[in-house]
Structure 1
Amino acid sequence: MLWLLLGAVVLFLLLGGMSAFAKASVTSIKALFTWILALGGLSLALLLILTGRGGVALGALTLFGPLVYQRWQAARGRRAGGPRTGAGNSDSGPARSGPMTREEAYAVLGLRPGASEPDIRNAHRRLMRGAHPDAGGSDWLAARINQARDILLG
């Protein structure tokens, strides 16, 4: 009976997690996976140190340099006061309202400003393959990709 109850709780948590995952923005999902990898790497480094392979563990810990630097830069940018802009802006999730600018449209499609019409169409097609709701993607993300294409192609 206890195992049945425990299984029901685990199933409830999994379904709730899947629901939250479907509603999450791409940046928050990236951050989640980054932290999962970071915690896994730290656990591996601790195990290597405990088994007497400290040199290998220190070498593996140097892989965290980019993550630490990125977090340090983000914290430094927030302290400086100004709002962050660009594709790395975590405030550009679903809560944002208003029309999309051309710069945002280029960032959504992963293109540089001034890209040609075939480049825009190819980027849209490539992104929609994975983001389309029929392929298991997000409705919100597919709408943003379509909006970016419409803005850039007029």
Structure 2
Amino acid sequence: MLLLLAALAGLGLWLWLGKRRKQIPAAWLGIAGTLIGAVLVAKGMPVVGALVTTGAGLWLRYGGMLMGRASPAPMPTNRADLSRAEAAELLGVTPDADRDAIIAAHRRLIARNHPDAGGSAGLAARLNAARDLLLK
């Protein structure tokens, strides 16, 4: 029984370290915890298994919020919040830049600041609003 607990603890540690390095989806940790809890219940440890399964359920429900993940991204900024000068400064172009320069600057900045690439959703929304305002 001790060997089973050590193996399950090792699996949990491996998943936790893998999440830190490779960004394993949070759901996999909850699923693994549920399976570990079920195995513990089947092996005759219902109290420990129930605690592990409950923890896994909480992980599935609340995910990374328990680990200090930031709150959801703010709502996108609309065009009314930016002036033309601010939009041009944000994209790094002159206020009278042509369409191609605006699009090139936007693509360069959004590639680095897109939420899927680890950037901020708020900044990406502001970049999109600035592009839309200058292209208008």
What's the TM-score once normalised by structure 1's chain length? 0.38
Larger Rg: 2
